Amino acid sequence: MISKQPFPYKPEEYETEKASNAYLMSLVVVIVGLPFPIINLIATWGYYMGQRKSSYFVRWHCLQALLSQISIVIINAFAMGWTWSIILSDRSLSNGYLAYMALAVFYNLLEFVVTIVTAIETRKGQHLSWWMYGPLTQVLCKPQP
Amino acid sequence: MRRFFLHFSLSILLFGSIWYALSQINWIGILGLNTLTQKTEKKLEDILWEAIQDSEEICSDSEANEALQTLWNRLCKSNQLDPNSVQVHLVINDEMNAFALPGGHILIHSGLIQGLETPEELAGVLGHEVAHVQLNHISKKMAKEVGVSLLLSAAGGGSAAGEAIKEILSQLSSSAYDRGLEKEADLKSVEYLKNAGINPNAMIGVMEKLETEIQSDLPSWLGSHPDLSERKEYLKIATEHIVLTEKPVLDSAAWEGLKTACD
């Protein structure tokens, strides 16, 4: 799910700190964000916007942290919608729903762990690229802002 | 970008496959959720029925109850319904009302029977309530309108249970189901009557009587029923091409006896 990749230059201490904070941002808001998945997305979007003029390394990781929120937002929003439809309408509890919830919980935990690992490694100056979001960030983030 | 699309497609495929595989497991059975729900429902059925017995006067006139049983048996036989799935009770109450409780108890007010003209109309009302029972509308309505938390507090006993039971009974006896469920029950009743050789047109007569009651501004529960003229319209469409050899539902003596029972 994550792989170490070479980066065009060795980032400075302040860059690794800012880049690492982008991942921590998505963890800090996780408690608030659980019932409202969109909050994580807004928070990482806000942090990314604040770092638009930063160095390539910082922007790259801020963007990867932001993009990585998309799948979890969609998965959690669908889980919430399905749950509310069971509570408020005629839908009943099904094996499909419970399977989806189990998978959503697993995905949330996996993303949580991967985010922590990435934050730690990024702080050490390592360049970690995520499955799917790494290649997308590579396309979207250019060395010059 | 090609790598992203490759990863994206593989991710969707992987997520979908794992979800599908996990869905094949009987989670509800393994976690015992079905048993839990059934247990709670059973407990609730007993509590509500006890509350009704305490608050309502059930008519014990044997001839009247026999007449109601004859109607129910007629619907059962021709529709392959389990005779034990429903118990019909005659309640001494002037209000024109009939409703179903969890557990298959159908309560018909004496006031309703007095307001109807023919036993076929009563069969239509009974068919409608039986349809609510058979189509599992009652638990749907309770979960939606009463709320899961109130149901659990009623089933759980304790100080909050009394109020919760009152609220549930008030919801079940005094307001209509939503339009979709009412229509489903009306059309199911048409089917029951048709199969039993009873003219389902009688249901239109019931709607007309309910309309008259609303106009005379009598019981409030009628006012909350969804558009009766709309119900009349779809009943007319559903019944217009039905041709059947009618067999009398009750003889006139039994019908008159039922109307005057427990006066």
Per-residue pLDDT, B123: 94
| Count of domains for chain B | 1
**Could you tell me the residue range of the domain that residue B90 belongs to?**
27-260
pLDDT tens digits, A43-90:
888 888 888 889 999 999 999 999 988 888 899 889 988 888 877 766
Q: What is the pLDDT of residue A31?
A: 65
- State the Cα–Cα distance between residues B64 and B169, nearest whole angstrom: 25
B217: in domain: yes
pLDDT, averaged across chain A: 86
Domain membership flag for residue B43: yes
Residue A134 distance to chain B (closest CA, Å): 8
pLDDT at res. A37: 65
Which of the residues in chain B have pLDDT under 50? Answer: 218-224
pLDDT for the residue B223:
45
Which chain B residue's Cα is nearest to A93?
B28
Per-residue confidence (pLDDT) for residue B54, from 0 to 100: 87
pLDDT score at B10: 92
For the question of an ipTM over 0.90, the answer is no
Any A CB within 8 A of B234 CB: no
Domain count, chain A: 1
**A59-63 own/partner pairs: CB under 8 Å, 24+ apart:** A59/A141, A59/A145, A60/A19, A60/A127, A60/A137, A60/A141, A61/A19, A61/A20, A61/A22, A61/A23, A61/A122, A62/A18, A62/A19, A62/A22, A63/A137, A63/A140, A63/A141
Residue A145: inside a domain, yes or no?
no
* Residue A131 forms contact with B (CB below 8 Å): yes
- Return the pLDDT at B220: 44
Of B8, B11, B22, the CB nearest to A99: B22
Which domain, by its residues, includes A113?
2-140
A94 contact residues in B (CB cutoff 8 A): 28
Whether residue B6 is contained in a domain is answered as: no
Put simply, the chain B residues between 158 and 217 with a CB less than 8 A from any chain A CB are: none
Structural domain includes residue B178: yes
Residue type, B137: H
Is there a domain that residue A85 lies in? yes
A110 touches chain B (CB under 8 A): no
A-proximal residues of B, 60-79, CB under 8 Å: none
Predicted pLDDT at A90: 61
By C-alpha distance, the chain B residue nearest A100 is B19
A13-53 confidence digits (pLDDT tens): 999 999 999 998 877 766 665 656 677 788 888 888 888 88
pLDDT computed for residue A41 by the predictor: 81
**DSSP notation for chain A:** -EEE---SSPPPHHHHHHHHHHHHHHHHTHHHHTTSTHHHHHHHHHHHHHTTTS-HHHHHHHHHHHHHHHHHHHHHHHHHHHHHHHHHSS----HHHHHHHHHHHHHHHHHHHHHHHHHHHHHTT--EEETTHHHHHHHH--S--
pLDDT at res. B222 = 47
Q: What pLDDT is attached to residue A80?
A: 87
The torsion of the CA quartet B216, B222, B224, B225, rounded to 10 degrees, works out to -120
Give me the pLDDT at residue B139, please.
75
Q: What is the pLDDT of residues B71-105, one digit of tens each?
A: 999 999 999 999 888 999 999 998 888 999 888 89
Domain assignment present for residue B3? The answer is no
Across the interface, whether the CB atoms of A139 and B4 are under 8 A apart is answered: yes
All residues of chain B having their beta carbon less than 8 Å from the beta carbon of residue A132 are 4, 7-8, 11
Q: Does residue B199 belong to any structural domain of this protein? A: yes
Within-domain flag for B50: yes
The mean pLDDT value for A115-134 works out to 92
